[in-house]
Amino acid sequence: MKTEPQRINKVVPRVALSASMGFAAYWTYLYFSQTRHIFSPQLDPLPVRTAVDSEFTELSLNVAPGVNLEGWVRMPKGLGGAGSQLPCAIYFGGRSEDVRWLLTEAHGFKNLPMVFFNHRGYGHSGGTPSEKHLVADARAIYRWVAEQPWCDLNRISVIGRSLGTGVAMQLASSAPVHKLVLFTPYDSLETIAKSKVPLAPVSWLLRSKFNSTECAGYVHCPTFIVLAEQDDVVPHESSANLMRHFAVEPLAAKVKGTDHISLPHDPDTQALVAHFLT
């Protein structure tokens, strides 16, 4: 007859093996599904407007063989005449964002020419998103803007929102950006992921880490960080940690009555940003 210690000695290895297999399966799932979790385009892109306002010009930018990004230039009425060179801002959207919303809700960005493209795999842009591809695309967009006759090369600013702040940070750390605006930025995607899935070896599994703290010391342009009053996506502590790493201390504002989703849509927020940039 088996004693109690003998039973335990047989059961414990089985439990440990089952637990190990369970963790391995979970980690495998996380590894292969991370693109869908990190980059989450809307399943139904916003409808294409049949009559685009005269302030907007539709674009298609080829960034890689077979990969075109859909985008727009917004040129406020009365600006962009022959021979004029203007300051402008490039906007990079968030995790689930179709930037087409700016066609109807950019009224607070008064007198500010803007360029905005949907990330790869977002809206009607081709390709598959990844950190490497989004950053490469951002640099291609920056080069395209710099070549435009209406653009003042010395006053190209960058705006990033949520996930897009990681893209904006890498661009601003390696290109002559005039000013930088970050809506609800994070220190790194790795830090955020560790808080969401504490039992996973995130450092090993995560392919797109968007470590903005590593970039911050190389950002020397004036920077404005805009936070939502309530944010259940990017903790304020994550934004505060990023701010401590900048070479030049950024300005910061927390907008009352806003959350992570509503912040950039708020007309008062847009007016603050436009004032900072112009």
CA dihedral (92, 274, 221, 81) in degrees, to 10, reads: 90
pLDDT, position 161: 98
Secondary structure element (H or E) that encloses residue 225, with its range: strand 223-230
Superfamily of the domain at 39-277? Alpha/Beta hydrolase fold, catalytic domain (3.40.50.1820)
In tens, the pLDDT along 182-199 reads 999 999 978 877 666 665
What does the pLDDT average to over 3-23?
48
Rounded Cα gap, residues 278 and 274, in angstroms: 6
pLDDT, position 165: 98
Q: Given a cut of 60, is residue 203 above it in pLDDT? A: no
Beta-bridge partner residues of 91: 116, 159
pLDDT, position 16: 42
pLDDT band at residue 27 under the 50/70/90 scheme: very low
pLDDT, position 103: 92
What does the pLDDT average to over 41-54?
61
Looking at every residue in the chain, the average pLDDT score rounds to 84
Percent of the chain topping pLDDT 90? 64
In tens, the pLDDT along 105-114 reads 988 888 889 9
Percent of the chain topping pLDDT 70? 76
pLDDT, position 48: 58
In tens, the pLDDT along 146-172 reads 999 999 999 999 999 999 999 999 999
Domain boundaries, the chain: 39-277
Rounded Cα gap, residues 81 and 70, in angstroms: 24
Higher pLDDT, 20 or 212: 212
